[in-house]
Chains A and B, each alone.
Chain A
């Protein structure tokens, strides 16, 4: 299982995550910050349990994030 977390309040809206992992990330037109699709928000930490096939793309997004607010784990 792939677990991705986004601490979205700190997002600066650079668009890298959507660019590298469009399956999981989308820029919000409402506040210009990244949205981790289908994630659950717990106190600002948005977490998604997903299929492992997106691991590489999610890792790329994590590494590209300039404000380091994405974490990616495989269980």
Chain B
């Protein structure tokens, strides 16, 4: 396969998301194991025993695998990180994403490829040179502008800054997803209020709530137009991806290891399509509108361009939670697949399913599939509606499994 100009990197919080990312056309995936990653709270992390299968599944699909080991590290973690780096190496994981020097140093000493995490906030060429002794790929700080990014990339080429592999340093940036009110990796709010350190991957996201500011001398409550003053909108670059790619970055990372598998599917499919269009020279306004519509269907706090197009204040979230135009509603689980006729049987455990409903099928092996139910049967009879308790069968576009769950997609009325 010809090497793509820009690598599209997908988040994988669990098997469903991992498979969804592969199916949606990601070039690489990143994921955490146990507690030493920035989503330590998520119950969705993998375990060390999952590493070999992750590597096998991804290698087969020609997808690179990156293990995030990017929290701050205490003394009692030191032997754990060695075990994890060794396990990653033995399993054939492509690289480790690290921020603590203990991890960077150990991984490099074991000849394991290192990528520098956003937690280190690289904002200049000298820092790139410093870490080039250890790492081949570096994520730049989310707070840089595209001009600043381009200057760093140009300087790498001019000065021929090379990593341990001997290749020029590759620059990665975030393309889509949540942004922090603080400079990434430097927020202590969650630690102060909940003892729960963001830098140990345990952020409670209290910046996403509403706050009132009170003048202590007078007791006056300050009137703030936008109540969610610490919750930035989500980063979205699909509408100026041409400018992003022109900076010379080689990896585009999608945030969201805590997000649902259909989020990964939709966002990766969208950016895959956008990157491919750029390479083919068919990146048009019409397509951009379609992509924005797609991205709006999944979890988002409203979109803005981050800091890439220069400082722009006031882009804060003005509502609680997601602005997604769609949501999924749980219906039931997979029961059986009849391969000869490509029909799936599902048990409806909640709500009801109607003909012409759009459904999502998700599972650790299946990934995420979306389709419209055109016809269905209950008890060998054609029906228009399948109710709670029914076993329903209908033609499916993919093999389904009894580990799968079925949802229907409905408009978000909120």
Number of interface residues of B (CB under 8 A): 20
CB distance from B164 to the nearest CB of A (A): 27
Q: Which of A21-58 contact B (CB under 8 A)?
A: 27-33
Which DSSP category, helix, strand, loop or mixed, fits chain B's interface?
A: loop
Within 8 A of A (CB), among B189-209: 194-197, 200-202, 204
Complex: A29 Cα to B79 Cα, angstroms? 6
A29 to B43, CA, bound (A): 22
Chain A residues within 8 Å of B204, by CB: 66
State the CA gap A33–B202 with chains docked (Å): 14
**In chain A, residues 6-32, which have Cβ atoms closer than 8 Å to a Cβ of chain B?**
10-16, 27-32
Residues of B within 8 A of A32 (CB): 34-36, 74, 76-77, 80
Least CB distance, A8 to chain B, in whole angstroms: 11
Q: Does B40 contact A (CB under 8 A)?
A: yes
The answer for the CA separation of A16 and B74 in the assembled complex, in Å, is: 12
> Which of A12, A16, A30, A64 lies in contact with B35, CB distance below 8 A?
A12
Decide if B80 touches A30 in the complex (CB within 8 Å).
Answer: yes
A15 to chain B, nearest CB (A): 6
A67 touches B41 (CB 8 A): yes
- Can you give 10 A-B contacts (C-beta < 8 A)? A13-B36, A13-B74, A27-B76, A32-B35, A32-B80, A33-B35, A64-B195, A66-B194, A66-B197, A67-B196
Given contacts A12-B202, A29-B79, A32-B77, 10 further A-B contacts (CB under 8 A): A10-B43, A12-B201, A14-B195, A14-B197, A14-B202, A28-B76, A33-B35, A64-B195, A66-B196, A67-B196
For the complex of A and B, the 10 pairs showing the least CB-CB separation, nearest first, are A66-B196, A27-B76, A32-B80, A12-B40, A12-B35, A32-B77, A66-B195, A29-B79, A64-B195, A13-B35
